[in-house]
Amino acid sequence: MTINSLLSEETIANKTCFIRNQKVMLDRDLSELYSIETKRLNEQVKRNIARFPEDFMFQLTELEFQNLKSQIATSSWGGTRKLPYAFTEHGVLMLSSVLKSDKAIQVNIQIMRIFAKVRQMLLDTTELKIDILQIQKKLENHDKNIELVFSYLDELTEKKESEPKRTTIGYKH
C-alpha cells in the first residue's frame, strides 16, 4: 500500500480543524499519520523549538480543548494529561525538517498537496461568492430600473386621463 492510498483527502480533511481562525492539525493526529507516538513527535519539536514560532505551532487552551472535544461526538482523546499542540500549515511543513524518516517525508508531501488543494478550493469558492455578489448588485439595479419604468408609465397614463377631450375635426355623421 502506498502513502497516497493511506492518506486520502478525506483522511487529512477529517484531521484538520479550524482553531483561532487557522487551519491546523493536532499533534495526536499528526503522530498517528507519521506512525510515531505523540510524545516522540513533541520531543522532536521541543528539541527544535526555534523552528516553531507561535504562527507555526501553539498549545490549545483548556477552553479550546473542551470546545474541540464537544464538537466531536465521540472523543478519541481519552484522558490526556497535557493540552495538545496545534500545527498550522507552516508548522506541518516545518515538521519535515525535524522528523527524518522516509514515511514522515512522504506523509508531509501528501499533507502539503492536500492543503494546497483545500486552499485552491477556498479561492475558487471566494471567486464564486464575488461573482454572485456582482450578479445580485446587477439584479438590484434591474429592480430599480423596472420600478422607474413602471412609475413613468403610471405618470403617462395619469397624464393621458387628465387631459381634456379634444374636439374632433373632420366629417361628422
> DSSP code of 100?
-
- Three-state DSSP state, 130: helix
Instruction: Find the mean pLDDT for residues 21-30.
Output: 90
Task: Read off φ and ψ for residue 18, nearest 5 degrees.
Answer: -105, 115
53: pLDDT strictly greater than 90: yes
Domain membership flag for residue 136 = no
pLDDT band at residue 112 under the 50/70/90 scheme: confident
Domain-located, residue 7: yes
Residue 107 burial by CB count (10 A; 0-12/13-18/19+): exposed, middle or buried?
buried
Residue 169 reports pLDDT greater than 90? no
pLDDT at 88 over 50: yes
Has residue 157 been placed in a domain? no
Please work out, in degrees rounded to the nearest 5, the angle formed at the alpha carbon of residue 98 by the alpha carbons of 96 and 100. 70
The pLDDT of residue 75 is 47
Range of the domain at 11: 3-118
Start-end of H helices in 48-99: 62-71, 89-98
Asked if the structure places residue 124 within a domain, the reply is: no
Q: How far apart are CA 110 and CA 16, in angstroms?
A: 14
Residue 103 in domain: yes
Number of domain units in the chain = 1
User: Which pTM value belongs to this model?
Assistant: 0.59
Task: Tell me, yes or no, whether 166 lies in a domain.
Answer: no
pLDDT for 79: 56
CA distance 134 to 123: 17
In a domain? residue 170:
no
